[in-house]
Amino acid sequence: MIYIETQSLDAAFHFSLEEYIVRHYPWDEKVFMIWQTNKCAMLGSYQIAETEIDLKYAKSEGIAIVRRSSGGGTIYTDPGAFLFTVIQPKSDESYPLDIAKSEVAAPVVDALRNMGIPAKLEGRNDILVDGKKVSGLAQYTRHGRICTHGSLLYETDLETLVRVLRVDDDKIRSKALRSIRSRVTNIKEHMDRDCSRGQFREQLKRNLFSGQKVRELTLTEFDLTQIDSIYREKYGDPSWTFTQSPKFSFHNSKRFAGGKVEVYLDVEKGLVSSCSIRGDFLGVAPISALEDGLEGIMFQRKDFTEALEDISLQQYLGNITIDELLSCFFE
Q: What is the pLDDT of residues 32-78, one digit of tens each?
A: 999 999 999 999 999 999 989 999 999 999 999 999 999 999 999 99
How many CB atoms sit inside 10 A of residue 169's CB?
9
> Three-state SS for 9?
coil
Distance, in Å, from the CA atom of 185 to the CA atom of 177, rounded to the nearest integer, reads 14
Residues 85 and 201 in one domain: yes
Residues 256 and 219 in one domain: no
At 130-164, the pLDDT tens digits run 999 999 899 999 988 999 999 999 999 999 999 99
For residue 100, the model assigns a pLDDT of 72
Residues 265 and 234 in one domain: no
For residue 176, the model assigns a pLDDT of 34
Strand 250-256 relative to strand 2-4: parallel, antiparallel, unpaired? Answer: unpaired
Distance, in Å, from the CA atom of 262 to the CA atom of 278, rounded to the nearest integer, reads 5
Residues 202 and 264 in one domain: no
Residues 234 and 268 in one domain: no
Residues 67 and 176 in one domain: yes
Last residue of a domain, one of 221, 241, 261: 241
Residue 318: pLDDT band by 50, 70, 90 thresholds? very high
Distance, in Å, from the CA atom of 178 to the CA atom of 35, rounded to the nearest integer, reads 31
For residue 277, the model assigns a pLDDT of 96
How many CB atoms sit inside 10 A of residue 222's CB?
8
Q: Is the pLDDT of residue 231 over 70?
A: yes
Nearest to 296 by CA among 312, 275, 324: 275
Q: Is the pLDDT of residue 173 over 90?
A: no
Stretch 260-282: mean pLDDT, rounded?
A: 94
Q: What's the domain range around 44? A: 2-241
Q: What is the CATH number of the domain that holds 91?
A: 3.30.930.10
Residues 304 and 211 in one domain: no
Q: What is the CATH number of the domain that holds 307?
A: 3.30.390.50
How distant, in Å, are the alpha carbons of 74, 166, 305 from that of 51?
Answer: 10, 7, 29
Do residues 30 and 88 lie in contact, with contact meaning Cβ atoms separated by under 8 Å?
yes
